[in-house]
Amino acid sequence: MDTKDQETAIAYQNKDIVSKLFGDRMKGKPLSLFGLGTDLKVVDVKPTNLPIVQARELRMDNLFELEDGSVAILDYESEYKKSNFTKYGRYIMDVADRYLKEGKEPDIHMMVLYTADIERAETSFSRTACSIQTEASYLVKAPSEEWLKDVKAGIASQSITDEMMMHLVLLPLTYKGEERKQEAIKECVHLARRIPDKGQETFVLAGILTFTDKVINEKTRQYIKELPV
């Protein structure tokens, strides 16, 4: 088994390695691929675990350094809760603290990607002592079937673009309801396995498993783990 095959095998098994594989392959790619309102490109990926003493570990989904020197925290949500703002506040303060200890003060973006289950959400939370502002993107209006058609055509012609790969990663989140999401996860994994380029295949598989982590059920997870490499 060569290195790329090993990466693909690992991508089914280990959440931390999956997330790192996806993040590393985001370098050089713009955040607009997520539907976020910026063309800034990722130049580096940072660890996402927070060293906060709590009963459970708090971990953001992605932490990217961008080409303009700013930092983007990216989380995705399948439901809207006002209490999420306290989580985002912890993310922001921890990231700010990390950089202050290094003598740096980059601007920080708090970006949130919402699945198709959420049509609109509040983007700000203000108190006299602080104000938290998020930059939101919604998948509810994503043209799912058009994305799927384009991906299949790209795989058939062996001409997969970055945009097609990201659409394949996000497709399961563009559908409402658990059952349809589980079906889409399986379909997208099977499509990813057909991508000729092993590096692109690993990027897409890692992305699918990273971005469906909050919605995938155990039956689907087990189904994916049992697929032959």
What does the pLDDT read at residue 53? 41
H or E segment and range at residue 1: none
Instruction: For residue range 97-146, list pLDDT tens digits in order.
Output: 999 999 999 999 999 999 999 999 999 999 999 999 999 999 998 999 99
What does the pLDDT read at residue 56? 41
What does the pLDDT read at residue 14? 56
Q: How confident is the model at residue 15 (pLDDT cuts 50, 70, 90)?
A: low
Instruction: For residue range 164-200, list pLDDT tens digits in order.
Output: 999 999 999 999 988 999 999 999 999 999 999 888 8
CA proximity to 33, closest of 163, 151, 150: 163
Give the mean model confidence (pLDDT) for residues 215-224. 87
Range name among 46-60, 75-89, 135-149, 182-196 with the lowest pLDDT average: 46-60
CA proximity to 117, closest of 74, 71, 178: 178
Q: How confident is the model at residue 50 (pLDDT cuts 50, 70, 90)?
A: low
Q: How many residues does the chain have?
A: 229
Mean pLDDT of the chain: 85
Under 8 Å between Cβ of 22 and 15: no
What does the pLDDT read at residue 138? 92
Instruction: For residue range 125-137, list pLDDT tens digits in order.
Output: 999 999 999 999 9
What does the pLDDT read at residue 1? 43
**Cα-to-chain-centroid distance, residue 60:** 10
Give the mean model confidence (pLDDT) for residues 77-82. 91
What does the pLDDT read at residue 225? 79
Is the model more confident about 58 or about 153? 153
The DSSP bridge partners found for residue 65 are 44, 71
Report residue 133: phi and psi, to 5°.
Answer: -120, 125
